[in-house]
Every structure is written in C-alpha cells, then in structure tokens.
A and B are shown apart, each in its own frame.
Chain A
C-alpha cells in the first residue's frame, strides 16, 4: 500500500545536528514532490520544507532556512531532512507528506495526501 515512513528522530542537545529520513513505498516515488511538516507538543502544524519530484527545487520555512536542508535519493525512494544548529523550538513531531499531484513544481503545490506516522525530535540540554 501507499506508505511513507519517517525515521531518525531522537534526543539531541541544542546546537547539534540530526538527519531525518522518509522512506516511500507503494507508489512511483520519483514523480512526486515531498514535504516535511512538524508539530510541536500541543501546538498546530508548521510547514517546514518541500523538494520537487526531481530534486531540482527546494523551499523552506523562514524558521529553518539556512539551518535545514531537504534532499532526496530517488534510487532509494527516500527523502532526507538534514537539521543543523538545532534549537529548543525545533522540538516537534516531524512528518513527511506527499504532494497530491504528480509532477508538481514550485508554482503548483496543492495539498499533501499521504502522510507518515511521524518521528519525534527533542532538542534539550
């Protein structure tokens, strides 16, 4: 079945780095853009980043630009989120999600129809 599975979460000290992975199965991975969305404890959803289906375009939220990098390896059906210079406020459940339409680019992202179960990142000293 169509599935996204996140991994790589954990407890990390402020200023350190962590890399999350999002592994896809059950669909043609290399034609879909993939987003990362996070949710701090007891808070709402926050969009984090997106990478286009071919990996040629990336967008970031202001809160993570310059610290986080999204990338993908279509040969492994996997998207990554490299998180550097982590802060307390980065503590959240991180979800990866599939863009609803295939072959979408920066001008036409319309929604996220498949979500993973999330992986928890805790930044604490």
Chain B
C-alpha cells in the first residue's frame, strides 16, 4: 500500500519559516493537499492541487510538490499556526491516503 511520511513534530519561532515535508514514492506525479487541524476542531484545507490556496487562507501558506516530496511552507509563522498538519495524496491507484501528521509548535 502507498505511504506518506511526515516528521512527527517540529518547532518554529514566531516570525520564522516552517517547512513541513511529506514523502512518498513518485508523490510529484500525484495531487497533494494539506490540512491544518487544531485540537477539538475539524480539519481545514490550507493548500490543494499541489500549490493552490483556498480563499481565506493567508498568503504566508505556500506549497510545492516534486519528485518524491511535497512541502508546505509557512512564512512568518504566527502563534495561531500552531496545529497538526496533514498531507494527502490522491490518484486513482492509491486513492486518498494521508500522511501521519506533523505537530507544529510555535515557541
């Protein structure tokens, strides 16, 4: 079965850049999306179709997807960005697999 690998956790200082990676075999050939989830809340889509930002998501969120790695970048990280982040890949051969999630701590 297809697997996506994310670092379990990372910490970033306020105002700095956080880069969250998601690795999978030929991930760049698939469509990647990213979700933010805060405790007790439903997930929120922050990036989709590799690098598109939904309306209402701040411009400090960006993403890329190439080769075996997709990356979510948060520029000028704010305390409100502290959350769990999940990548997801889709293609018809693997369906909609999620990565294990990365807990981002802003301190």
Contact = CB atoms under 8 A, between A and B. Distances in A.
B31 A109 contact: yes
Contacts of B48: 100, 110-111, 113
Nearest to B35: A45
Contacts, number: 75
Contacts of B84: 44
A112 B1 CA distance: 22
Contacts of B31: 108-111
Chain B contact residues, majority secondary structure: strand
A101 B99 CA distance: 22
Most central of A61, A112, A116 by chain B CB within 10 Å: A112
17 contacts: A37-B98, A44-B86, A44-B98, A44-B99, A45-B35, A46-B98, A47-B97, A59-B92, A61-B96, A95-B42, A95-B43, A100-B49, A109-B96, A110-B52, A111-B49, A112-B33, A115-B44
Given A101-B49, A110-B52, A112-B45, 5 more contacts: A47-B98, A109-B31, A109-B90, A110-B49, A115-B42
The 8 closest A-B pairs by CB, nearest first: A111-B48, A111-B33, A47-B96, A110-B49, A115-B42, A44-B101, A109-B90, A45-B98
